[in-house]
Amino acid sequence: MAGLQASYDLLNKIAGCDNVCLNHDMLSEMVNNNLDITKVVAVGLGLDCKSNINDSKVKYYLMVREYPEKVEQVISLHPLIEGIRDYPAHDEFVFGIDMYFDGRTGVEIYPRLDRRDIDSPTLMSKLKFRDAAQELIKECNLLHISFQGNGGRVFYFHPRSPTRFIRLLDNHRLSLAYSHVQTLNYILRRSYKAAFVSVNLSLIEDEISSKDIQNIGLQYALTYRA
């Protein structure tokens, strides 16, 4: 698979930089000659740079489809999280391997809930979402989740109406940042009828519940349909 080779080439270039010591052991354990590439849907590589170089990292993403053996392997390497197997098992599964510049490694999983999951009171109760978070989740078509080192959850919201979602949060900094996205979307719609901006946001569950949101991730993608 050309994408896998290209990702390894890039990793080698990063590893060759000064003060960078990437540990490939966990990656090699999960991505090797035994990997069934016919079940790999996507491969991605991200670079997270911090002011402290040792906290910088490369994140290697994979999406696999109908690959229960790989899912089990990834979960076995993930830090122990209570109820981690309560999340719905979809055909597609996304995980990431963190390789810090100082040699530390870790694995992340990103369970997702689609609209059918979100509309299931039984599942929502089983996953113990707090009331404040549930109100936001109900506004979404899709939700991805990741876990912090202490077991806390980070939510990646894909709202049906980003504008309504932002208003519900009532956060000045976020509203200001989103106003720029709205301006971009307006310009695109005037210039290209088939262009639009999709938005998703990441928030920490504990901060949502305490109504003290300090950490916000606002991501947007530009799409043009010919």
Query: pLDDT of 51-110, one tens digit each?
Result: 888 889 999 999 999 999 999 999 999 988 888 889 988 899 999 999 999 999 999 999
Indicate whether 137 and 102 sit together in one domain.
no
Indicate whether 12 and 72 sit together in one domain.
yes
Long-range residue pairs from 49-55, CB within 8 A, at least 24 positions apart, any chain: 53/19, 53/20, 53/101, 53/102, 54/100, 54/101, 54/102, 55/100, 55/101
CB atoms within 10 A of CB 38: 9
Poorest-pLDDT segment among 31-45, 60-74, 126-140, 160-174: 160-174
Among residues 110, 143, 158, which one ends one of the domains? 110
Poorest-pLDDT segment among 2-6, 78-82, 151-155, 191-195: 191-195
- Residue 225 pLDDT > 80, yes or no? no
Average pLDDT score over residue span 203-217: 89
- Residue 156 pLDDT > 90, yes or no? yes
Average pLDDT score over residue span 29-36: 90
pLDDT band at 113 (very low <50, low <70, confident <90, very high): very high
CA angle, 127 then 208 then 91, to 5° = 40
Indicate whether 9 and 76 sit together in one domain.
yes
User: Mean pLDDT in the chain?
Assistant: 86
pLDDT band at 184 (very low <50, low <70, confident <90, very high): low
Indicate whether 70 and 143 sit together in one domain.
no
Among residues 82, 110, 138, which one ends one of the domains? 110
* Contact partners, residue 168, CB within 8 Å, separation at least 6: 135, 136, 139
pTM of the model: 0.81
Residue 23: both structure tokens together? 């540990």
Q: Total structural domains in the chain?
A: 2
Q: How far is CA 103 from CA 4, 23, 56, 74, 159, in A?
A: 21, 5, 10, 19, 37
Indicate whether 185 and 90 sit together in one domain.
no
Average pLDDT score over residue span 186-210: 76
Residue 69: both structure tokens together? 């053996």
Give the structural domain span for 198.
111-226
Indicate whether 165 and 203 sit together in one domain.
yes
Q: Quick check: helix, strand or coil at residue 42? A: strand
Q: Quick check: helix, strand or coil at residue 50? A: coil
Indicate whether 177 and 194 sit together in one domain.
yes
Indicate whether 159 and 207 sit together in one domain.
yes
Average pLDDT score over residue span 17-35: 90
Higher pLDDT, 25 or 224: 25
DSSP 89-141: --SEEEEEEEEETTS-EEEEE--EEEHHHHT-HHHHHHTT--HHHHHHHTTEE
